[in-house]
A and B are shown apart, each in its own frame.
Chain A
Amino acid sequence: MTAHRHLRRTFSVLAGLLGLAYLFPLAWVVITSLKTDGEVLHAPDSVIFTPTLSTYAAVIQSGLGAILTSVVIAVLVTAAILLIGIPGAFALGHSFGGGWIRVVAVVLGILLVLQMVPQPMTIIPLYGILARWHILGTLFGLILADIALLLPFAMMLLRPYVLAIPQVIYEAARIDGASVVRAFLSITVPMLSNGIFIVMCVIFISSWGEFLYAINFLPQGATLPVSGLLAEQNSSYVAQWNRVMALAVLTSLPLLIVFLFTQRRLINGLSMGAVR
């Protein structure tokens, strides 16, 4: 069994190296965002410096509108997806009997196809459709597009949680005289709380990070969300890396917060939804 112990030690070292390969870029982003303009320009690779929050102060001061836009988009998209997606997932996961299972199969197929379509490709017809319906260049149009982009994923992620609710509970409720609507509201929704939490986090993080629709569907000169601002930095030639990295940290802020508090729950939840 010495070989085994030897292997274990090698694996620990390898796992550590792997962790560093993923931690280093993150650490570098944070370190750079704590430098001043001058330090980034003259000694970009230095790790010995006095960290300062001045870059954040500048970015937040000039980007307060952007943060507000991000909050509005992410909150509204998340709320709408939960409102639409929870009953939707219930319909796809609850056994209603009759020919309903065939409808479920068709809808699941459509959801899969919609998830497969690359975003840079749907954006082309969507641009035309939003223009024709006169909601191109409005926050409302952008939010609708975001909802449609993330809804299939939300429903697929939530469905296994609906399936996991034992049928017996519904039968007991029916015998007690509870209607289907009542069962949905007082059995399904409370029992889905874990799944709803995961979906809420994932959708909030995704809608906060979405930028392609934002930079194309919002009008020229509009207040972009933080993610859009970060994507636009791309086209400016003089890269102020400390600012870009501060924006990057702001773009990942919801994820950071969710992760710090609910790491284990998130990891388990995501792997459950992804495998099934």
Chain B
Amino acid sequence: MMTALTLVIEFLACLGYGALALRLLGLHRAFTPAMHVSFAFAVGLGVLGWLLFPMGILGLFQDAWLWSALLFGAVSTPLLRDSLRNWQAVPLDTWGWCLATLIAVVLFFDFAEALMPPTDADSLAYHFNAPRRFLETGGIFHILRPLDGAIPYLIQMSYIPVLSLGGEQAMTLWCMLSGWMATVLLYALSREHLSVNYALTVALLFLSAPAVVYGAGTGQIEIRMTLFALVAAWATARSLQTNRMAFTVLAGMMVGFYIGAKYIGLLFAVACGLIVLLRKNWFRHGTVFTLVGILVGAQWYAWNAVHTGDPFFPVFFSFFGHDDLVLWNREHHRYFQENFMEIDRPLARTLLNYFLYPFIVTLDAPAATEARKVGLGPFGLLLLPFALIGLWRFRQNVIRHPLAIYAAVAFLFYTLWFMSGPSQRVRHLVPIYPFLLLCFAVAANRWAKPVYLQRPLYAALVVTILLQMGGVTLFGVKYVRAMAQKEDHNTYLAKNLSSYGPIPWVNANLSAGDHLFHSERQLNYYLDVSNFFGSANTQAAVDLESRGKDPYVLLQQLRSIGATHILTPLTRWEIWRGGKDWSACFMPLQHVKAKRIGSRTLPSTSTNQVTFVLHQLLPKTCQAKAGIGKMVSPSTAAHR
């Protein structure tokens, strides 16, 4: 009951905050009913995430305050009543019903996924874990970890009220719902340029794209950033067409939300900003756009700057970084840059690769791009000739078409992302994928009017839909199966979450005063005890690389971050130990078997058994044996 209530109230809160913002900007009459509702949700999601930051800083993550934040937004929902009243149901023909049925199938699989405990590694490492830990402390604290710790959390802020007030199920259902709203918004936007059936096709192609299926039901933020990207590009286009400042302000707000959601939002802001400048009074609009974007998006960057010195931690750490951080120093920063930053960029940044990247990741993707299983599907490839010929055929009118602005924003973002982005993972392009879908669909549809052209076009669309629906079924079948078999929480997680094995024992046997060090990031969320995740790249305090370690040094390093216990794979522990007796410093408490799962969807490709060993640190006997005068005392500041 509370799960559903929280979900509805947060949904209404987003609609209300967005409707209020659009009313204050005087833009409430600028939309069709469907656009008004979906745009209000997108704006409201950003506003809610933005408001929760100061609340978190002030330590107001308690139920009463969270209810207040939601109800304050929800009371503005009536501002949408005219649009809701005027929203007319569209009659569907046979094809329309077929497409609607397929969309319903995808939604059903999404629903089944949302009912199961989360198992996505990134979500458990930080998207869901950070909100959980913020709630435990009643407010936001800084997580000094690169890439998945010290990052912007604007979207994850929206997980906090649902998690606190409705529990985990409400949070996973919220991810499902907010992901669906991106598709609703895309459909509403598509209707400006396409018929009902084509708009439904675009919606289905987006909803069933592998990268969307992979991330939409998890805590991953790309699909939710799509909401910001679509509204930002739409507002940028309207700003250019009408020269109205309110549209420029809306565009600035939306890129600000994008910036607040992820570092690469800055690239999107630059792409939109360059387009905003293409007018006579460019300075006025450019200044307003920039100031609004900074005001909205700067929260988490300022937070990073205060705690590390580097607003984009760890990108500029060598220039601005603090010298007194336990977990990060300049030497480790150099090691991190040399060993890690290049891993996610398998293709050299050359002009040739810039043009070939979309083809390479579609047909023969390097593993680091994850595009083979988490790609964008064959739509772009199969419809390329239709879109190019359509573009050439209507080249006289293209420059004045609103879609040209979407295409320009997407093109500029892709260029900036490829040339300067930290990662070449295809799923980072999900927020601009709707622009490609929309532009290709419109160009192909306009050009391929004769029957002899329509046939191959329809064939390409049908084949893409069938392939993607196959992917949806493959991905979703395990959730439906688990739902049908009514698997309990632990059985399901043991089957589907890599290295879950030690969790039940650790949660049952470690107490409130203990602090566990471990190197399995996907376990962060499910650990009920105080814990610290560390790998060789993510922290400088504990050396996890060298073989034949000195137990006293390892124990001192672990104590420096406040650890009382350490959980490692047995094989790694034995390599560290090098056959020596470490019993004076570490006492083995438990050996636990677990499954390492490389792929949740295709577990037979890479699943193996691993044994974990949990040790308790023995500082007193270790100190006596080593003859060291004074051990490092646990640093509570480094607990997180």
- Chain B binds chain A: no
